[in-house]
Amino acid sequence: MKIVQISSEVNIGSVGRIAEQIGENVLNEGWKSYIAYGREALPSKSEVFQIGNKLDIYKHVILTRLTDRHGYGSGRATEELIEKIKKINPDIIHLQHVHGYFVNIDILFKFLKEANLPVVWTFHDCWSFTGHCAYYELIECNKWETQCSECPQISEYPKSIWKDNSKKNYIDKKKLFTSVPRMTIVPVSSWLEGEVKKSFLKSYNVKTIHNGVDIQQFVYRENDFKQRHHIENKFLILGVASPWDKRKGLKYFIELSKTLSDDYRIVLVGLSKKQVKALPVNIIGFERTKDVNELAELYSAADVFVNPTLEDTFPTTNLEAQSCGTPVITFKTGGSPEAISGLTGIVVEKGDVSGLVNAIQEVRKNTRAFYSENCRKRVLDLFDKKNAFKNYIDLYKELITKN
């Protein structure tokens, strides 16, 4: 059996690592795994190939900025992708992200309709059923349930600086995305499943599969991070995101830095150069790391992982931290709370800074060691990539059987 995945990245970033790990499970079955990607790729066990090139991406970005027609660039690149898919002749096509300036949805979905192959589409966000945005929880917009228009987030990803085509986008997406006859939608959280079932895609088979992590890579590692940064006696609060945009809650770390005593130290990973320079002196900032070992060391050095996300589906950072034995504090946002339990962390009402402070102080009082064993056990039981992504293998087998 041959599986082709279409992903924004391979083996880097949360979506890229998910695509890689699904590919590993495919190979373990003795099948063939192919991953077509849009932007970045680290070495992969699957056979990978890029969709288009940097120039295609730049053109697609310009199209999006000027016309708000994201998903309608990259025509030549998508036609070449389809030719490669035809040569591979896969049994199943698995879509990860199809937004991100690298694929033409009109060309791709017309092909998927005509090919009449089983399609699995993993939803990592909400872009697939809105007229513009990937997230809407922050502004509490529900136009997508009926008809998008006059989008209040036109300047958010995928940003448009000139036009608002959210109404046309919504109509066109609905027509394209509901045209594929043999498609299964896989949200990465129960929360997202509920949203899909309120959208124009509700008639499709919907099956939630939570993300998993590599428990061998993300495991507690002895390290000297605190010593190297002269914070041996500090309670280390870690935040990881990329990019650190408004929805990821950077402002809450700034607030915490003003509120907490000097006994605490905040470390943030995934910042831009500009953001690093603008940090208060009591926050240690790093740009994005591509080194999983380095990331695991950071999780291991932390006393608590804080994720004040304001919009999210099922952040894998919550899993990575727990897999390294680190408790998690997160806002009650989307599917983020689904990753943790009362034995592995604390859920705080969205936007409640005093609640964050109280939760951090509670974790410090209990100590990291109080949570560590349960954190690791929760990931081993529920989110080990071998088990989590085996659910995709079971789904593939089920779809082929129906063929």
Q: Which domains does the chain have, with CATH numbers?
A: 2-212+385-402 (3.40.50.2000), 225-382 (3.40.50.2000)
What number is the average pLDDT over the span 345-369?
Answer: 97
pLDDT tens digits, residue range 20-64? 999 999 999 999 999 999 999 999 999 999 999 999 999 999 999
Cα-Cα-Cα-Cα torsion 124, 126, 131, 135, nearest 10 degrees, comes to -110
H or E element at residue 318 = helix 316-323
CA distance 56 to 63: 11
Q: Is the pLDDT of residue 104 over 70?
A: yes
Residue-level pLDDT at 186: 98
Point out which residues pair with 206 in neighbouring strands.
185
CA distances from 84 to 44, 48, 74, 87 (A): 18, 11, 15, 5
State the pLDDT confidence band at 318, using cuts at 50, 70 and 90.
very high
Residue-level pLDDT at 184: 98
Residue-level pLDDT at 298: 97
CA distance 142 to 121: 22
Q: Is the pLDDT of residue 91 over 90?
A: yes
Point out which residues pair with 121 in neighbouring strands.
95, 185
Residue-level pLDDT at 403: 64
More confident residue, 329 or 288: 329
